[in-house]
Structure 1
Amino acid sequence: MTPTEITLHQQSKVLEIAFDDGTRYKLPFEFLRVYSPSAEVRGHGPGQETLQVGKRNVMLTEIEPAGSYAIKLVFDDGHDSGLYTWEYLHELGKYHDAMWHDYLTKLEAAGESRDK
């Protein structure tokens, strides 16, 4: 699947993406940041993930194309590694609610906060 439209909404802190299969997702900046596909966040294998904390107010400052299969997102906290493939963005949209719940559960269990 391929995006047909990508819209950056700075006011609401949402990246809106429509796909050629008819789906359309609104992905909050914080969600995109905490689920970055970078090794810094995901690690190099299962169990090596790094819980991202204090990202509630993170801003997405730039979107850069990466070939015809992905985009690179640049955040105002300096994070700019990891390529968000079309497939991964579609998965983030499709499973947003479950993934967000999982993140909040892990954050609480670690005694951490979405705020700095």
Structure 2
Amino acid sequence: MAGLDETTPIPTEITLHSLSKLLEIAFDDGSRFTLPFEFLRVYSPSAEVRGHGPGQETLQQGKRDVDIVDIHPVGNYAIKPVFSDGHDSGLYSWDYLYSIASHQEELWSAYLEALERNGGTRDPAKVPPPPARAKGGCGHQH
């Protein structure tokens, strides 16, 4: 996660609109963005979604109906949303939020193209179950 510096815009207002499934965020530079919960979920900065390096990303599927059920401040630099699918490990720093909000149109197009390329779906009912994992723990030798 990139560090905050004096050029990072800081939110002045963060509002959850649960019925419309939108997060509205205003920054101190005068910009204001409206981000769908689904967009925030599929672009979570967590390792579960982004992996630990380039090429390790996990394409998120079936997130069309996801809600944000809670949101926690993290210091003076981030928020940590809790999504209705149980995902709660993404720390959305102010610079990350500003970046994805500023590039929302391109990022959303890239996501839809990746779904199409991989035969993925936004609909939860159509997502195939994950592959079965071997029983007996995490798979590491102890």
Provide the TM-score with structure 1 as the length reference: 0.99
Match of 2:70 in 1: 62
Gapped regions of structure 2 (runs ≥ 5): 1-8, 125-142
Q: Hey, which of these two has a bigger chunk of strand by percent?
A: 1
Percent identity reads: 66
* 1:34 alignment partner, one of 22, 26, 42: 42
Specify which of 102, 108, 116 is matched with residue 110 of structure 2.
Answer: 102
Aligned pair partner of 1:14 in 9, 22, 41: 22
Runs of 4+ in structure 1 off by over 6 angstroms are none
RMSD: 0.4
Name the CA distance, whole Å, in 2 between partners of 1:29 and 1:60: 7
2-structure distance, mates of 1:23, 1:74: 25
Question: What is the CA deviation profile of residues 39-92 of structure 1, one whole-angstrom value per residue up to 9, with x for unaligned ones?
Answer: 000000000000000000000011100000000010010000020000010011
1-structure distance, mates of 2:122, 2:91: 23
Aligned-partner residue type, residue 34 of structure 1: V
- Structure 2 length normalisation: TM-score? 0.81
Give the structure with higher Rg (CA): 2
Structure 1 gaps of 5+ residues are: none
Equivalent residue letter for 2:15: T
> Which whole-Å CA distance do the structure 2 matches of 1:23 and 1:92 have between them?
13
